[in-house]
Amino acid sequence: MSNSPSNGILEDFISLFYPRYCRGCLNSLAKGEELICTQCLLEMPKSYYHLQQDNPFFQKFRGRLPVKHVMALFKFVKESRVQQVLHALKYKQQPELGQMLGRVYGKDLFEAAYSDSFDLIVPVPLHSSRRRIRGYNQSEEFGKGLSNILDVPCDDTYMKRAARTETQTHKSKLSRWENVNRIFQVVDQSLIAERRILLVDDVVTTGATLEACGQALLNAGCRELSIACIAATQ
Ligand SMILES: [Zn+2]
């Protein structure tokens, strides 16, 4: 069985009759397994970027944004279990999946002595109308899982997204960047100033969204900016 998001209908069918299925491979979960089976957790490609500061994801921001740590739980591969899991998190009403992945990465970061590296976890905000429709912000759910293990507060209300971005894909790269760059606003600068912030997102491709969001945090006086996401393209 392939595991692309085009399996959406199949997944809907499976979830109807077998609620205890793996969100990565769609096979049934064994006793004690939650949301993602042990085999998927072992085989999905971890990036280990938190163990290598000058990693390919970090290099993506070189000359664009001054960042301290840039990390991802997984390497993003199309048509893979990672994509299947991210699709479920975003489109299948499964916020608990984001929290679980946050705890998984939180444990990796904890073991690598990151527990005292951040003062605040800030998720990339969704536009309020999209959040209302989806019912949750998938990046915030990932942040909550990290928060749970690292004991660093995670708050979704420090930033807001000012405009919708649906038309972005139809625009040129430059105007897209400009578009994104106006979108993110820090609500109260005093809550961001002098803080070491871990900005979190779900999946990262160009980094344009994180660049705009991170720039808004730096403009608000954040002392040190780091980034963590669930998966990053190479
Ligand atoms: Zn699985």
pLDDT of the chain, 234 residues: tens digit per residue: 444 555 677 877 777 777 789 999 999 999 999 999 999 999 999 999 999 999 999 999 999 999 999 999 999 999 999 999 999 999 999 999 999 999 999 999 999 999 899 999 999 999 988 899 999 999 999 999 999 999 999 999 999 998 655 555 555 555 655 655 678 999 999 999 999 999 999 999 999 999 999 999 999 999 999 999 999 998
CA of 174 to the centre of ligand 1 (A): 40
Task: Please state, in angstroms and rounded to a whole number, the distance separating the CA atoms of residues 4 and 24.
Answer: 10
Identify the pLDDT of residue 3. 46
CA of 97 to the centre of ligand 1 (A): 13
CA-based nearest residue to 185, from 215, 143, 205: 215
CA of 202 to the centre of ligand 1 (A): 19
CA of 41 to the centre of ligand 1 (A): 7
Identify the pLDDT of residue 171. 55
Identify the pLDDT of residue 2. 44
CA of 210 to the centre of ligand 1 (A): 30
Task: Please state, in angstroms and rounded to a whole number, the distance separating the CA atoms of residues 199 and 212.
Answer: 11
CA of 27 to the centre of ligand 1 (A): 6
CA of 80 to the centre of ligand 1 (A): 11
CA of 132 to the centre of ligand 1 (A): 30
Identify the pLDDT of residue 10. 80
CA of 36 to the centre of ligand 1 (A): 5
CA of 33 to the centre of ligand 1 (A): 10
Identify the pLDDT of residue 179. 58
> How far is residue 186 from each of residues 69, 86, 224, measured CA to CA in Å?
21, 27, 15
